[in-house]
Chain A
């Protein structure tokens, strides 16, 4: 059964009881919430995701709950909890869905040490994955959203899961988190894409999430072979430009953008080295998504010859 098969009132009941088990491959996430509008946003963004039965083992038990007392009614706040422990500061309840997404990212980054977890978007074409590691504000999610609206498969806009045993990349194909001007850019670039309402005044500015393409969700269990590590940078007015970058330099950035590189020690060092052995390494600047997609399509075509 998928989320979209569940009537809204039942979805709200499942959330209220903490019985909504979302198959966020390769994990299962149990979600509890009494924030009323969250059911609608989960239905909108996770409609294509499978739902597991309540007795399924869940990797993450999370809750987005309204704060008690007066704050329940005046400028209501919501709080994120993980495994029953309150985490992070409460946020306005209008930010409940972005908070759920940020919280779930944190759950994966802080606990999924069977992977090297890299702060990177990942898209795939022809079985080959392009890994786009970058610090916030680089235009990584915008580029990712543009590519997945032009035939690339979404693995992740935020967390690349590098399997240390197989050397393959897994993704969760979850909603794409867009900020500020990039929301309008993607709405204009992909008029058919589905978004949450834009939420202003968050710590990251105005945010909106884009529903992942159904085909990406359908194939989420298929890992991809890393082929390119590309460091993106939005540069206003710049032509789309792909330049080779030394792998040693890229290594340092991947290590820096990995949440658990230090935890893995020498194994993490070997993993990043092995990842770069099988990839081409580039720096990419862009200001226009049409040109950016053309460059990426060119890479994929060249690799398939």
Chain B
């Protein structure tokens, strides 16, 4: 089972403004700046509270997942988390 968390070096590198659907993230590792969407913000906030497994994250995001699409959502969430990991925002570790 793997746990997802916000990378320590990513703290303070996500910037967002009130009532906006997008945010910007600066990757200390690559020096790149990424435009990220509101879901990334939500994932970031959830994982700042505590590290979570993918199924815990899915539960926490259930409000924004279309009913009956849980299996697809789980698969897409995995890809999404891997992309945020690639950006340098998140890290996956084995619990």
Binding site for B on A (CB under 8 A): 246-249, 251-252, 255, 261-262, 265-266, 269, 273, 276-277
Contacts and interface: CB of A to CB of B under 8 A. Distances in A.
Contacts of B28: 266
A248 B26 contact: no
A248 B35 contact: yes
Given A249-B35, A255-B33, A266 B13 contact: yes
B13 to A, nearest CB: 7
18 contacts: A246-B21, A246-B22, A248-B15, A248-B20, A248-B22, A248-B23, A248-B24, A248-B35, A249-B35, A251-B15, A251-B35, A252-B24, A262-B31, A265-B31, A269-B13, A269-B15, A269-B24, A269-B33
Given A246-B21, A273-B24, 15 more contacts: A247-B20, A248-B16, A248-B17, A248-B22, A248-B35, A251-B33, A251-B35, A252-B35, A261-B33, A262-B31, A265-B31, A269-B13, A269-B15, A269-B26, A277-B17
Contacts of A261: 33
- Interface of chain A: mostly helix, strand, loop or mixed: helix
Interface in B7-36: 13, 15-17, 20-24, 26, 28, 31, 33, 35
Interface string B73-86: 00000000000000
Contacts of A246: 17, 20-22
B88 to A, nearest CB: 12
Nearest to B22: A248
For chain B, give the interface size range: 10 to 19
Nearest to A249: B22
A269 to B, nearest CB: 4
A246 B21 CA distance: 8
The 3 closest A-B pairs by CB, nearest first: A269-B26, A248-B22, A247-B17
Nearest to B41: A248
A247 B16 CA distance: 8
A249 B20 CA distance: 10
Name the residue among A248, A252, A261, A265 with the largest chain B CB count within 10 angstroms: A248
Contact of B26 (A266, A276, A277): A266
B52 to A, nearest CB: 25
A205 B49 CA distance: 56
Contacts of B21: 246
Which residue, of A269, A273, A277, has the highest number of chain B Cβ atoms within 10 A?
A: A269
Contacts of A266: 13, 26, 28
Nearest to A262: B31
Given A251-B24, A255-B33, A276 B13 contact: no
Contacts of B24: 248, 251-252, 269, 273
A276 B22 CA distance: 14
Contacts of A276: 17
A276 B23 CA distance: 12
A277 B15 CA distance: 10
B86 to A, nearest CB: 18
Nearest to A281: B17
A251 B23 CA distance: 9
